[in-house]
Amino acid sequence: MSTAHKFLTMLEAVGLFVAVVGVILAGANRISGRRGDRVVAAVFLLPTVALVGVGLVYPALKTIYESFFDAAGTKYIGIDNYHKIFTDSDQLLVLRNTVLWVVITPFVATGVGLVYAILVDKARIEALAKALIFLPMAISFVGAGIIWKFVYDFRPDQPGVKQTGLLNEILVKLGGSPHQFLLNSPWNTIFLVIVMIWIQAGFAMTVLSASIKAIPEDIVEAARLDGVRAWGMFRYVTVPSIRPALVVVLTTIGIGTLKVFDIVRTMTGGQFKTSVVANEFYSQSFRAGNQGLGAALAVLLFVLVIPIVAYNVRQLRASEGR
């Protein structure tokens, strides 16, 4: 397709939807009265319900169904795919890596975000200081992966060969020898996790900073008059006051980390024992041609998200009830 043709198609698409919305609105405008309201509601909701039904509900059910079938999707094999995920050595490695990601990322990213939010709170250049940490949020996971792959870049340890990766340069300058950061398991997974922490700390900082600023000044002042020092202030005033926000941040990052795909795909492609569930889903479904196992992995992601969301909702209920 030529560029002009592409732009034309794009305008057609936007125009089509503007027309659909226009027709719906114009139609709704002619109907009045309380009974008419029900018709209007139905017409307003029709496109959404149809799209969400076709795009989310039906595919989710279909995938759950297919997870009980074999690689070609033709023969019913019961829970064999799930059995494989929890017994096959390659799949267990994928699970172990996913656990590493989900356990490390939320806590470290939230910790860094919280510390930074407290440190720069009310500082003179607070806005700029925050923007520096926040900016990675605008960068794609692919872009972040490339940025960090360059940091981890490796050159063989030979005379005349200079390191081009920052981390290996530092290692060499300190008298060590360069390290294959992305090749040696299990540490390579940790080096990938660092990228996710780098992205998510900004999110944690922004939400927690707003929450810290909402702590009533008189509570802080009272604690200070009682002689509470910096650490005590953090432990007994700041953290309890922002607990609901902490839970939201931890669970949100946890869910995002569970589904991490782009970073692994861009930096190692899931090789060198770095695959995670979301990446394995892609590899099995689209590369290895094992539809059944791919579907089971997708369902596993779905199932793992649910308890985190349930915990989140319960915490919110509890904090609202107080």
How big is the CA angle at 284 (ends 278 and 287), to the nearest 5 degrees?
A: 110
Among 23, 42, 92, 318, binds another protein (CB under 8 A): 42
Chain position carrying tokens 């940025």: 147
Whole-number Å distance between alpha carbons of 234 and 220: 10
Rounded least distance, CB 93 to another protein, Å: 19
Interface of this chain with another protein, residues 274 to 293, rule: CB under 8 A? 278, 281-282, 285-286, 291
Size of the site for another protein (CB under 8 A): 125
Interface of this chain with another protein, residues 139 to 178, rule: CB under 8 A? 139-143, 145-151, 153, 162-166, 169
Among the listed ranges 86-94, 96-104, 183-191, 216-224, the one in contact with another protein (CB under 8 A) is 216-224
Whole-number Å distance between alpha carbons of 3 and 291: 35
Q: Is the CA virtual torsion 142, 111, 257, 215 positive or negative?
A: negative
Should residue 17 be labelled a site residue for another protein when binding is judged by CB under 8 A?
A: yes
Should residue 131 be labelled a site residue for another protein when binding is judged by CB under 8 A?
A: yes
Structural contact between residues 181 and 188, judged by C-beta atoms closer than 8 angstroms = yes
Should residue 138 be labelled a site residue for another protein when binding is judged by CB under 8 A?
A: yes
Nearest CB to another protein, comparing residues 93 and 246: 246
The two tokens of residue 27 are 């139609």
Classify each residue of 79-99 as buried b or exposed e, where b means 16 or more C-beta atoms within 10 Å of its C-beta: ebbbebbeeeeebebbbebbe
Nearest CB to another protein, comparing residues 88 and 221: 221
Interface of this chain with another protein, residues 227 to 256, rule: CB under 8 A? 230, 244-245, 248, 251-252, 255-256
Whole-number Å distance between alpha carbons of 51 and 59: 11
Element (H, E) at 247: helix 243-258
Should residue 222 be labelled a site residue for another protein when binding is judged by CB under 8 A?
A: no
Rounded least distance, CB 143 to another protein, Å: 5
Among 23, 45, 72, 92, binds another protein (CB under 8 A): 45
Should residue 133 be labelled a site residue for another protein when binding is judged by CB under 8 A?
A: yes
Structural contact between residues 170 and 241, judged by C-beta atoms closer than 8 angstroms = no
Should residue 267 be labelled a site residue for another protein when binding is judged by CB under 8 A?
A: yes
Specify the 3-state DSSP secondary structure of 71.
coil
Nearest CB to another protein, comparing residues 77 and 305: 305
Structural contact between residues 245 and 208, judged by C-beta atoms closer than 8 angstroms = yes
Whole-number Å distance between alpha carbons of 225 and 232: 13
Should residue 23 be labelled a site residue for another protein when binding is judged by CB under 8 A?
A: no
Rounded least distance, CB 126 to another protein, Å: 9
Among 68, 69, 101, 116, binds another protein (CB under 8 A): 116
Rounded least distance, CB 28 to another protein, Å: 5
Whole-number Å distance between alpha carbons of 169 and 178: 8
Among 104, 171, 183, 305, binds another protein (CB under 8 A): 305
Among the listed ranges 55-63, 84-92, 95-103, 176-184, the one in contact with another protein (CB under 8 A) is 55-63
Q: Which of 233, 211, 214, 216 is nearest to 224 (CA)?
A: 233
Among 72, 92, 119, 190, binds another protein (CB under 8 A): 119
Q: What is the dihedral of CA 93, 98, 100, 104, to 10 degrees?
A: 170
Among the listed ranges 79-87, 92-100, 110-118, 185-193, the one in contact with another protein (CB under 8 A) is 110-118
Should residue 198 be labelled a site residue for another protein when binding is judged by CB under 8 A?
A: yes
Should residue 201 be labelled a site residue for another protein when binding is judged by CB under 8 A?
A: yes
